[in-house]
Amino acid sequence: MTSPESTSAPTETLTALEEVYAQVKRVNRDLRPTDRIIQDLEVDSLATLEILLALEERFGVSLVDNPRAAKLQTVGDLVGLLDELRSAKTS
C-alpha cells in the first residue's frame, strides 16, 4: 500500500511544473507525463534553463548541475527526477 505522501507528490510536482511552464511560456496548459519537452511543449534551450532554475528555487534541489537533467525527454522524466531529488533531500 502506498502512503498518502507518495501518491500526492507527483501531483504536487506536476502542478508546480504546470505553473512554472505557464510563467515561462505564457501559456496555460495541462501537462501530461507523456508530453515531450522540446517537441510537444515547444521549449527551447533558454526556456528549459528558465524552467529548471525556477524549479530549483521552488523545491530547493539542484537540476541545472545534474547530469541526468540533460537527458530528460518528457514531462514524466522531469517529474520523476524532481520527485527523486526531493525525496533524497528529506531522507
Helix pair 4-25, 45-59: axis angle to 10 deg: 140
The ranges assigned to domains in the chain are 4-90
- Residue range 55-78, pLDDT digits in tens: 999 999 999 999 999 999 999 999
- Residue range 13-50, pLDDT digits in tens: 999 999 999 999 999 999 999 999 999 999 999 999 99
Please name the CATH architecture into which domain 4-90 falls.
Answer: Orthogonal Bundle (1.10)
| CB of 33 closer than 8 Å to CB of 83 | no
| CB of 59 closer than 8 Å to CB of 16 | yes
